[in-house]
Amino acid sequence: MDKSESTKIEMGESSKLERKLGKAPLLGSPSHAISSSVPIVANNKRVGNYKKGISIFDLILRIASVATSIGAAVGMATAGETLPFFTQFFQFEAGYDDLPTFTFFVIAMSIVVAYLVLSIPFSIVCIARSHVVAPRLLLIIFDTVIITLTTSAAGASTAIVYLAHNGNQDANWLAFCNQFGDFCQTTSGAVVAAFITIVLLLILIVLSAIALKRH
């Protein structure tokens, strides 16, 4: 076999090899890199939509928490009743400021209202930029502090409301809700609104934890 024939055979084999390689994409080719990155981009988009949905729900719950906490604070602050009968020296009336526990309740719930209003812009930031971690982390920290304050105020006021309705013979505390029915009803409603706020704050903390975990 001469040199010309061997050259033709080598060229024929190399052309066949090139055709085979042209049919199968190389692992390092740009087309393979693009196709492999498509599932990653789609997954990131799903995660982003998921976080955005959580942030929108977070904003709705915060607005609802503002409403319930305002109802609790205003309800307790306006609780008061004066009996229609009085003597020459005494006038029978009851107000929230007669009991330090109810005063603490009004102050605590006012702080809760102020915090929830200030936290709404951070919740909006989490909607606009769902991948940002810092606002969500701040919210979950301060939500935990606020739910502790709300729970302490609601728990202490619940004990006073219970004594107002039922009294305590061992402590010689007489039930006075039979006489001050409107006052007791208003304070009870304020305590119930505070417990609703606690439930909403608890859900907010869980949502923030889920969003951070998905990150």
Residue 131's identity, in one-letter code, is H
152 pLDDT higher than 80: yes
Q: Name beta bridge partners: 173.
A: 168
Q: Residue written as tokens 């005063």?
A: 103
212 pLDDT higher than 90: no
Asked if 55 and 211 touch (Cβ cutoff 8 Å), the reply is: yes
What average pLDDT score do residues 54-66 get? 93
Residues with Cβ < 8 Å from 193, sequence gap 6 or more?
68, 69, 71, 72, 75
pLDDT at residue 180 in the model: 72
pLDDT at residue 128 in the model: 85
Residues with Cβ < 8 Å from 211, sequence gap 6 or more?
51, 54, 55, 126, 130, 136
Residue of higher predicted confidence among 82 and 152:
152
Asked if 56 and 127 touch (Cβ cutoff 8 Å), the reply is: yes
Express as a percent the part of the chain with pLDDT over 90.
Answer: 40
What pTM does this model have?
0.73
